[in-house]
Structure 1
Amino acid sequence: MPLLSRKEVLNLKLSSIPVDKLRELASNLEVDKRDTGADIVKRLLSCPATGKVIDDFMKLKYIKRIETRRSIISDSELKEELGKVKSFSWGVVQGQLDQKIQAEYVRKIVRYEDLLNSVKAKLHDDVTSYVICTWFNHWTTVLIEEHISTHHKVVPTLKNIKGIDIFFDGQPFDLKVTYLPRDYEPRYATESPKDLAIWMYENQGAQRFGADNRLFVVLLDKDNPEKSWELKRNFSLVFEKIDEFFNKEEVSENDEIIFTFGRKTYTAVSKVLIIAR
Structure 2
Amino acid sequence: MNLKETFSTDIAKKIIGNKEQATLFLIELQKIKGFNLPFRTISRGKKQGEKILSIENEELWTKIVEYWDYNSGIKIIRELFKSTKKYESGKDSYSTMNILLDEWNKLKLDKIAWPFSQGDFDGFVQRVNAEGISGSEKDEKVKHAAVKYRRIKEINTVRNDFIETLIFEKNNNILPTLNHRRSVDFFINGFSFDQKVAKSPTAQFQKDFKESWKEYAINHPEKVAEYLYKYQDEGRFGADSRLLVVYLDEDVSINRIAETIQNTDLNNPYEINFEYKHKTHGIKTYKVKCFVILLYTIK
Look up the SS of the partner of 1:230 in the other structure. coil
SS in 1 for 2:139: helix
Q: TM-score, normalised by structure 1?
A: 0.75
* Residue 250 of structure 1: aligned partner: 267
2:17 matched residue in structure 1: 18
For 1:79, give the aligned amino acid.
M
Question: Residue 222 of structure 2 contacts residue 272 of structure 2 at CA under 8 Å; is this kept in 1?
Answer: yes
Report the alpha carbon displacement of residue 33 of structure 1 after superposing the two structures with TM. Answer: 4.4
- When residues 188 and 8 of structure 1 are mapped into structure 2, their CA distance, relative to the original with a 3 A threshold, is farther
Partners of 2:92 and 2:261 lie apart in 1 by: 21
Q: Secondary structure at the match of 1:130?
A: helix
Deviation at 1:175, TM superposition (A): 1.4
Partner in structure 2 of residue 139 of structure 1: 158
Aligned partner (choices 168, 183, 197) of residue 177 of structure 1: 197
Give the root-mean-square deviation of aligned CA atoms: 3.2
Give the aligned partner of residue 101 of structure 2. 83
Structure 2: which amino acid aligns with 1:91? P
Report the Cα distance in structure 2 between the residues aligned to 1:42 and 1:96, rounded to whole angstroms. Answer: 49
CA displacement 1:205-257 (0-9 Å, x = unmatched): 1222221111112233xxxxxxx2221x332x3223212212xx4236xx322
Match of 2:173 in 1: 153
Choose 1 or 2 for highest CA Rg: 2
Structure 1 runs of 4+ aligned residues shifted over 6 Å read none
What amino acid is the match of 1:172?
S
Residue 118 of structure 1: how far off its partner (Å): 8.6
Amino acid at match of 2:112: F
Structure-2 change in CA distance of 1:245 and 1:9 (3 Å): farther
Alignment of 1:1-277 (within 5 A): 4=2, 6-8=4-6, 12=11, 14-19=13-18, 20-28=20-28, 29=30, 33-36=55-58, 40-47=60-67, 50-65=69-84, 68-69=88-89, 74-84=92-102, 85=104, 86-97=110-121, 100=123, 104=126, 120-151=139-170, 152-181=172-201, 182=203, 183=206, 185-220=213-248, 228-231=249-252, 233-235=253-255, 237-246=256-265, 249-251=266-268, 255-261=270-276, 262=278, 263-276=283-296, 277=298
Q: What's the CA shift for 1:104? A: 4.3
Count of residues paired in the alignment: 248
TM-score normalised to structure 2 length: 0.70
Q: What letter matches 1:258 in structure 2?
A: N
Task: Quote the offset at 1:13 in angstroms.
Answer: 5.5
* Unmatched segments (≥5 aa) in structure 2: 31-35, 38-53, 105-109
Alignment gaps of 5+ in structure 1? 109-113, 221-227
What is the Cα deviation at residue 21 of structure 1? Answer: 0.6
Structure having greater relative contact order (Cα 8 Å, sep ≥ 6) = 1
